[in-house]
Structure 1
Amino acid sequence: MFFPDARQFSSRKPIQSWASLGAAIVAGALFVLALQPYSILPLALIAFALLAVLVRGASGFIAFRLGYFFGLGQFVSGLFWITESFQVEADRFGWLALPAVLGLSALLSVFPALACALAARMERAGLPLALSMATSWTATEWLRGHVLTGFPWNLAAYTLSDWTVAAQASSVVGTYGLGFLLVLCAALAGLAFVSAADGKRISRLATAGAIALSVTAFGAMRLLLADVPSERGAQIRVVQPDIAQSAKWDDAARNANILKLIALSARLGDFDILLWPETAWPGFLAEDAGARAMLGWLLPETGVLLTGSPEREETGAGTVYRNAVLAISRDGTILTRYAKHHLVPFGEYVPWRNLLPLQRLVQSLGDFTPGPGPRTLAFGPHPYAGIAICYEIIFPGHVVDDAIRPDWIFNATNDAWFGASIGPWQHLASARMRAIEEGLPLVRAANTGISAVVDSYGATLAMLEIDTSGVIDIRLPRPLPATIYARFGDWALLFLMLTSWTISGYWARRQQANLKGAST
């Protein structure tokens, strides 16, 4: 038999127990190879199929351990790129790199552990294990995205980010819902291989195939009926300066960094909106009218510069710092601004500062203060923009202002902290999913890469890869009408799960009735 049997693990033989735990770690690591930049989708199906088989028949405690080891394989290998950020100031933080990754992975592994324990309990209650696995996995992914400010990184559905046809379903049920369907298909297929009854094997494979076919058919139809891209959008220029993080705030390199941004922005070509990355300006641009006037010379008559810049404000409680994007007009006026509201723990602020004797990993004058939440910015005659600064783009359903729907999303980011690792690729996958969910084009300006322009269907139209300097000149793609997910958010996911439970319950009752009829 290809898959290990959880019933072997439940015995007291230590070799078999360790073999199953090892298989769980391997399955978690295989899942990472299905994510960007590798995108080997079959490995995600194998990973979840193997996990379902391991959990089958296991007690809650054993299932918890299996899920925990799966999580270790998933998070240690999938988040190891975080160690790059500790090397920027290696003399201060280098020693923390490995403990930080292992500690974070150990904490995050609790979520897949809870998913497996819950699935095992639901199976003992007589519910189908495949549906139990999909439901519990989705529920714990959702919790991971919300508990303690949330960290929805490398969700199951992101394995489909390069499979654009299948990813279209996220416009209806969102990223969590698409992950539910993926795990359900994989679990059904895995359990079919270990089923003793031919009838169950066929029905599980048929159900998995029907779900996969339905998702693919929906995506193909959505793309087939897609509007032809319009040339009426604003002309944009995305600047990627490729400034190393170690040089970004170096006083000796400050003028050279500014001149590099200006030289790239001043290249021949027309544009309406000029886009710079997160904290592109090495200082408090809002306080420097001369610098803003100088930057205005880069712009056409009605042009606008959207640039990242830190801000500070004196209040009665002291100085408040914000990570912001400013909209600057040709005459140097700040037309509007956006302050990042979802801050990175220990990177932009220290949670529970009064209790934890820790310092930030980023050297600066003080903790950042969060902004009020998602906002739509209006500036001049240009399309309305929704802004997401760096980390904010990874949160499904929390990027766009529900009160005023924007025409596009601008993701200003600085992934220079993570070098040429897989981290920026995983970050881009999250951003592309937001475009599909919301039905909005997305433009990403990154300091060292990956800058990209993504249409409303998640297709990448232009891209500057890691460690390259350059610009993207392109017309802004058209927005689509609000998707089902944009209108209803995760309520669509709840509807999907309730529908699945209803169908499953009806099928189980029908099978029981057939068995009763056969016995009489």
Structure 2
Amino acid sequence: MIGSFKEMDKKRQKYDAERPAINLNNPIFQSIWFAVFGSILSGVLLALGFPGFGNSTLIFVALVPLMFAVQGASIKKASWLALLSGFVFFMMSLSWLHNLTGTVEGVGMKASALVGYALLALYCGLYFIPFAITVTLGVQRWAGENVWKNVRFMFAVTMVWVGAEYVRGFLLTGFPWNPLGVSQYANPTIIQIAEWGGVSIVSAYIVWMNAGAFITFRQYTHGSRMKKYRPHFELMIGIVPLALSIAHGMNVLFNRPEFYESVNVALVQPNIPQVEKWDTEMDQMIRDRLAELGSTALRLEGIDLMIWPETAVPDFLRTSRASYDLVKSMTATGTPLLLGSMDVEFTEAGRIYYNSSMLFGKDGEELGKYDKQHLVPFGEYVPFPGLMRKFTPIEVDFRHGAGSTILPLRGNASFSALICFEDIVAPLSVNATRAGARWLVSQSNDAWFDPSAQSEQHLAHAIFRCIENRIPMARCCNTGVSCIIDAYGNVQRNLEPLTKGFTTGQLHPRPIGLEKTFYTRNGNVFSKVALIAGATVLFVLRSKGWKFRRKKDVPEVE
């Protein structure tokens, strides 16, 4: 038996030694269509890793086809391939934007919604270009048989990707939707590391592992190792950060401290379609539904706060007798009510509009108010209104709030509110935690995009805000997902999206005196370092690539 195994092993070694290498000169591999296929494939694999498709493991190799597509390309060609890949990814992962056509009237407005969707995907695809250029130049300079040069290449592409994601999060008001790290929202052991570097550090080890896989696969087609079809040292290095993050996550989750203080909340999910929210004839129906769900929730004992979603009432609460009477009746028993409403301020210069969250105590006494800080372009204000107003249904612009507001609750269980997409903007949660919020409330109206995967993607971002700051959050949404998220990203939800109802739950406010996380204290320092490192890498690669070509009398890469 032993002899037969030895004989089989000799045959296997002989087969490996005689196995032909992949012929890179084959016209198939030189074809532009092969590169285009790789670019599109990466875009598809990336999208499949996010909520809506849910194959999060694919994200760890999703960039490999794009890296192969651009490795021997000119800078110009690599840029176009990267833009195509990014465009495919965002068209798929943001496909819920197509549902905006159902909330606006007229062919012109519907066409504007579709054009805006495509332009946003194209804009976000631009941020793939620095990564592709780094791959192109990095392969020429570093990638090969030297392990440490390969590691240098892996570091370079990782820093450039993270830096580009960071810029996308703040440039032109920012659109930090679906960074790579968010794909892992349902893997709690992997994402606890976010308390150190935010979602960016999760994105970093995803790209790092993609780069390690690319280098390993590349050994099968280049160099002396091309006939040894086995994992190489670079792949092992690529796995190390993931393994360390899992070890860290398990240590954190198995050693969680006990939080004894609790707050009981009731979350009302009215499930009002967006077309009905805009119909004034439905105003009373909306109030009746809120009254029905709210009064039912208040029959339960021990509710410390009832929460309604963003713009829950159908008009301006401050100027509407019907809506204020509803609030007054809901708070008659003394249970505070937090609700979303449009608000108006009358000044000598005219009316100023806000998207607000208002806290009311017994008999409708206003206890506090938060005005949304991060407004949505073309949703709450119109950039260049003289030119763009006619392409949107927005007739007036809202004004942004001055900053985070600490809203009082019994004892010291104070909290801060986030409205709409503000829970995807990490600095807002950081600022609220620094200001003294012990837990967060996110109020949203995602009915604009239902039915779609948008609600689940939105929830995925909120989970990271909790882990980054070790602070719990109550999410109350018009159509879902309404839930409670603890400080470790675990989700408690009892209501399905697109259902009418309410749910109650208990959360544990962040203990007073608990040391703030590294991320809360320092914010996006990891992302900023990555941006500086990535910009330096691109500068060095571009300048040295130019000198190398001049010395060798090689035509300049486009």
State TM-score, norm by structure 1.
0.88
Residues 341 and 371 of structure 1 are in contact (CA less than 8 Å); yes or no, is this contact kept in structure 2?
yes
User: In structure 2, what is the equivalent of residue 135 of structure 1?
Assistant: 159
Q: 1:371 aligns with which of 401, 414, 419?
A: 401
Q: 2:250 aligns with which of 217, 220, 231?
A: 220
Counting only pairs closer than 5 Å after superposition, residues 45-124 of structure 1 correspond to structure 2 as 45-91=60-106, 93-124=109-140
User: In structure 2, what is the equivalent of residue 407 of structure 1?
Assistant: 438
Question: What runs of 5+ residues in structure 1 fail to find an aligned partner?
Answer: 502-520
In structure 2, how many angstroms separate the alpha carbons of the residues matched to 1:450 and 1:156? Answer: 21
Q: Structure 1 residues 380, 227: CA separation in 2 closer, same or farther (over 3 Å shift)?
A: closer
User: In structure 1, what is the equivalent of residue 283 of structure 2?
Assistant: 254
Residues 195 and 467 of structure 2 are in contact (CA less than 8 Å); yes or no, is this contact kept in structure 1?
yes
In structure 2, how many angstroms separate the alpha carbons of the residues matched to 1:302 and 1:152? Answer: 39
Q: Structure 1 residues 426, 323: CA separation in 2 closer, same or farther (over 3 Å shift)?
A: same
CA shift at 1:477, angstroms?
A: 2.8
Q: 1:263 aligns with which of 283, 292, 301?
A: 292
1:334-354 superposed Cα distances (whole Å, 9 cap, x missing partner):
111011111110111111224
1:430-475 superposed Cα distances (whole Å, 9 cap, x missing partner):
1111111111111111111111111111110124222101111111
Q: Secondary structure at the match of 2:314?
A: coil
In structure 2, how many angstroms separate the alpha carbons of the residues matched to 1:245 and 1:211? Answer: 44
CA shift at 1:420, angstroms?
A: 1.2
Counting only pairs closer than 5 Å after superposition, residues 188-203 of structure 1 correspond to structure 2 as 188-195=212-219, 196-198=223-225, 202-203=232-233
User: In structure 2, what is the equivalent of residue 243 of structure 1?
Assistant: 272
Answer with 380-389 or 415-424: which moved more: 380-389
User: In structure 2, what is the equivalent of residue 277 of structure 1?
Assistant: 309
Residues 454 and 461 of structure 1 are in contact (CA less than 8 Å); yes or no, is this contact kept in structure 2?
yes
Q: Structure 1 residues 51, 325: CA separation in 2 closer, same or farther (over 3 Å shift)?
A: same
In structure 2, how many angstroms separate the alpha carbons of the residues matched to 1:190 and 1:417? Answer: 40
Residues 289 and 332 of structure 1 are in contact (CA less than 8 Å); yes or no, is this contact kept in structure 2?
no
Q: Secondary structure at the match of 1:464?
A: coil
CA shift at 1:125, angstroms?
A: 5.0
CA shift at 1:495, angstroms?
A: 5.9
Query: Structure 1 residue 146 and structure 2 residue 170: aligned?
Result: yes
Compare CA radii of gyration and give the structure with the larger one. Answer: 2
Residues 386 and 408 of structure 1 are in contact (CA less than 8 Å); yes or no, is this contact kept in structure 2?
yes
Residues 159 and 530 of structure 2 are in contact (CA less than 8 Å); yes or no, is this contact kept in structure 1?
no
In structure 2, how many angstroms separate the alpha carbons of the residues matched to 1:157 and 1:278? Answer: 27
In structure 1, how many angstroms separate the alpha carbons of the residues matched to 2:75 and 2:346? Answer: 54
In structure 1, how many angstroms separate the alpha carbons of the residues matched to 2:138 and 2:468? Answer: 30
Say how many residue pairs are matched.
493
Residues 192 and 201 of structure 1 are in contact (CA less than 8 Å); yes or no, is this contact kept in structure 2?
yes
In structure 1, how many angstroms separate the alpha carbons of the residues matched to 2:115 and 2:24? Answer: 35
In structure 2, how many angstroms separate the alpha carbons of the residues matched to 1:211 and 1:284? Answer: 50
Counting only pairs closer than 5 Å after superposition, residues 357-436 of structure 1 correspond to structure 2 as 357-359=388-390, 361-364=392-395, 366-381=396-411, 383-401=413-431, 403-436=434-467
User: In structure 1, what is the equivalent of residue 355 of structure 2?
Assistant: 323
In structure 2, how many angstroms separate the alpha carbons of the residues matched to 1:374 and 1:181? Answer: 32
User: In structure 2, what is the equivalent of residue 441 of structure 1?
Assistant: 472
Q: Greater helix percent: which structure?
A: 2
Answer with 473-482 or 491-500: which moved more: 491-500
Query: Structure 1 residue 19 and structure 2 residue 34: aligned?
Result: yes
Q: 2:209 aligns with which of 161, 185, 189?
A: 185
In structure 2, how many angstroms separate the alpha carbons of the residues matched to 1:329 and 1:323? Answer: 20
User: In structure 2, what is the equivalent of residue 233 of structure 1?
Assistant: 262
Q: Which amino acid aligns with 1:256?
A: M
User: In structure 2, what is the equivalent of residue 341 of structure 1?
Assistant: 373
CA shift at 1:190, angstroms?
A: 2.4
Percent identity between matched residues is: 26
CA shift at 1:479, angstroms?
A: 2.4
Q: Structure 1 residues 39, 229: CA separation in 2 closer, same or farther (over 3 Å shift)?
A: farther
Q: Which amino acid aligns with 1:264?
A: L
The structure with higher relative contact order (CA 8 Å, sep 6+) is: 2
Q: Structure 1 residues 463, 70: CA separation in 2 closer, same or farther (over 3 Å shift)?
A: farther
CA shift at 1:52, angstroms?
A: 2.7
CA shift at 1:483, angstroms?
A: 1.5
In structure 2, how many angstroms separate the alpha carbons of the residues matched to 1:255 and 1:154? Answer: 37
CA shift at 1:7, angstroms?
A: 7.4
1:305-343 superposed Cα distances (whole Å, 9 cap, x missing partner):
110000111223221111000001112111110111111
